[in-house]
Amino acid sequence: MSKKNATPLSSLEFALLSYKHSLDEIGAITVLMAHIWRNSDRGVPDDDRGFCHLLGCAKAKFRKAYRPLLDQYFENRNGRWFIPIDNPLLVNEQRLSWPEWSSVRTAVFERDAFTCRYCGKKGGKLECDHVVPISRGGSNDIANLVTACRDCNRDKRDKTPQEWMPHAP
């Protein structure tokens, strides 16, 4: 994935996807992501004092709570921080246009006989679900899409069917 096809997640999207960080950590990661993204052509100097000022925190808190996040999600090259191409916080912007998505959805609904592939409910409010979520490397390929009722799709969120329903095939 090239940088031209990626943008940082919004803080809300990241908060929904990340269940392993506190809201405080998510806020710090989002600020760091935006700052490093804006300076992506030359990178951001590795300067604890500058990061503390940016995040509004003391050096001790930065070193204990935020430095590990910086190390986890960003890449330090020659003393400057960059966003690596394979950063898990980037989203592919190769989204289908509305007419393309509408036609794909229709094909998926017809293929699945307008029936939720998870619970078997027929009709009602149907959605097109990514079996392997986009956030986990899935695609918009029709083989990765199934019909899901609104309740199942919202409950499944960004999990695979095996994580969501361990008894699923």
Q: If we measure between CA atoms, which residue out of 49, 24, 50 comes closest to residue 36?
A: 50
pLDDT for the residue numbered 116: 94
Q: At what angle do helices 23-38 and 48-55 cross, to 10 degrees?
A: 120
Q: What is the pLDDT of residue 146?
A: 93
| Domains by residue range for the chain, with CATH | 3-91 (1.10.10), 95-164 (1.10.30.50)
- The DSSP line for 48-78 is HHHHHHHHT--HHHIIIIIHHHHHHHSEEET
* pLDDT at residue 30, as a whole number: 75
Instruction: Walk along the chain (169 residues) and give the pLDDT tens digit of each residue.
Output: 333 344 444 444 444 444 566 767 777 877 887 787 777 677 788 888 888 888 888 999 888 888 888 887 788 888 888 877 555 555 444 566 677 778 888 889 999 999 999 999 998 999 999 998 877 778 888 888 999 999 999 999 888 888 888 655 4
Determine the Cα–Cα distance for residues 63 and 159; give it in Å rounded to an integer: 32
Q: Which of 81, 92, 93 is CA-nearest to residue 31?
A: 81
CA atoms within 13 A on the CB side of 9: 20
Cβ neighbour number for residue 75 with a 10 Å cutoff: 16
pLDDT of residue 37: 74
pLDDT of 144: 87
Question: How far is Cα of residue 22 from the mean position of the Cα atoms in its chain?
Answer: 16
Q: How far apart are the first and last CA of the chain?
A: 30
CA R_g for the chain:
20
**What gap in Å lies between CA 127 and CA 129, rounded to an integer?**
6
DSSP string, 3-16: GGGEEEPPHHHHHH
